[in-house]
Chains A and B, each alone.
Chain A
Amino acid sequence: MIRLQEDLADELAATGAHGVIIDITGVEIVDSYIGRMLSTIGSISRLFDAETVIVGMRPAVAITLTELGLSLSGVRTALNAEKGLEILNGKSRA
């Protein structure tokens, strides 16, 4: 996760991207650490004026995060990458 965070920050700085989509379809198990890291990534991206959208969360993962009391504030969520892009596009148009 630390690697991801660093790579993402470098990439954002290099490209000046305005949106980040994190696809977690393949994530089956989460813990509070990962939940917090996702929020942190959102905060980092916001510093680069980029919005983060987490897509493809599995129901079990959502239930776990809720039970852990994490609502991923500051991060948008979408059902799939397509909808995530819609959110980002809507944002850039507005």
Chain B
Amino acid sequence: MDGSAPGTRMADYLREHQDKVIGRWTELVVAGVRGRITADEVRRELTDLFSLVVRVVSQADDHAAGELRAALDELSRGRARDGFTPRETALGVFTLKEAVYELVADAADMVPEFLAFSQLVDDLGLRTFEAYSAAREEIIADQATAMLELSTPVVRLWDGIIAVPLIGTLDSARTQLVMEKLLDELVATGAGHAVIDITGVPTVDTEVAQHLLKTVSAARLLGAECTISGIRPQVAQTIVSLGIEFGDIATKANLADALALALRQAGLKVVPALWSKCRSSRSGRRCSSPSRSTCRTRP
């Protein structure tokens, strides 16, 4: 054998035992992922990887290293998106060492080559992990964006009254978005009243309260009146015990009360429809007003 190029010797050795190594490698990987992908699929992936690894080890061409990295990145990203754990993903590479070692163990003269090979595999393993976490972070960022878009609807409750039902934990980024959307909507619709409903906000701490206050005062600067509604008992207790002051901002227990307040401030009144009055007078109850009232608000 050619002793001057240890890489070549290792590559030859790997090529010679290709079937055996891939077989063992596949076995180890399949055991690690507990049947979530089939052995055939694993074998196909690993055969591709193996041929790239051999090309890198043999140092025959310069493109092999780049190709191997790309293939590994692709594989790790796939694993991350399919919900594999980092351990399962990294084991996919590290088990190659084990598979090869089991063969090399008999041949004492291969030790230096195996050492170099082992270092290569370690590098690849680290690469895998980097790609894995990058993919995971991408997923998280995508989800955060999707959530931001989903979680900040501005709805029109009445002519001139809009509401923002907030759901989930409030942080600075979200509050900023809510504030911008609310203000844009106020300007676009010319609404004079806004209701911020925090029924879906699990906890209100000083930071969240600060954000709410900022939103309200920004809306006031535009000339719109803001009401905060949906304060749950626990939240009310927290607010008081934290010593948060909402000042002159109107707060209501639920959205209905807030809407009633906004209607009143807008000079509107909800009156019973005519037919229900007639029915109530027929059933013997007092008919409060003989007027031409219909089921709508009137000034």
A59 touches B180 (CB 8 A): yes
Question: Hey, which bits of chain B sit against chain A, CB under 8 A?
Answer: 176, 179-180, 183-184, 186-187, 190-192, 214, 217-224
Report the minimum CB–CB distance from B256 to chain A (whole Å).
Answer: 25
Residues on A with beta carbons closer than 8 Å to the beta carbon of B218: 59, 62-63, 65-66
CA A71 – CA B217 in complex, angstroms? 7
Residues on B with beta carbons closer than 8 Å to the beta carbon of A80: 190
Q: Residue A91 at the B interface, CB < 8 A?
A: no
CA A61 – CA B72 in complex, angstroms? 49
A72 touches B221 (CB 8 A): yes
Decide yes or no: A76 and B221 within 8 Å by CB, A59-B183, A59-B184, A83-B192 being known contacts. Answer: no
**Which of A55, A62, A71 has the most C-beta atoms of chain B within 10 angstroms of its own C-beta?**
A62
Q: Residue A45 at the B interface, CB < 8 A?
A: no
CA A48 – CA B186 in complex, angstroms? 32
CA A17 – CA B269 in complex, angstroms? 34
B220 touches A79 (CB 8 A): no
Nearest chain B residue, comparing its CB with the CB of A84: B223
CA A53 – CA B192 in complex, angstroms? 15
CB-defined A-B contacts under 8 Å, sample of 17? A58-B187, A59-B180, A59-B183, A59-B186, A59-B218, A59-B222, A62-B183, A62-B218, A66-B217, A66-B218, A72-B221, A77-B220, A79-B186, A79-B192, A80-B190, A83-B190, A83-B223
Give per-residue flags for A49-78: 1 if the beta carbon is below 8 A from chain B beta carbons, else 0: 000011101110111011100011000111
A67 touches B220 (CB 8 A): no
Report the minimum CB–CB distance from B6 to chain A (whole Å).
Answer: 64
CA A63 – CA B176 in complex, angstroms? 9
Nearest chain B residue, comparing its CB with the CB of A61: B221
B183 touches A63 (CB 8 A): yes
Nearest chain A residue, comparing its CB with the CB of B182: A59
B217 touches A57 (CB 8 A): no
CA A76 – CA B234 in complex, angstroms? 35
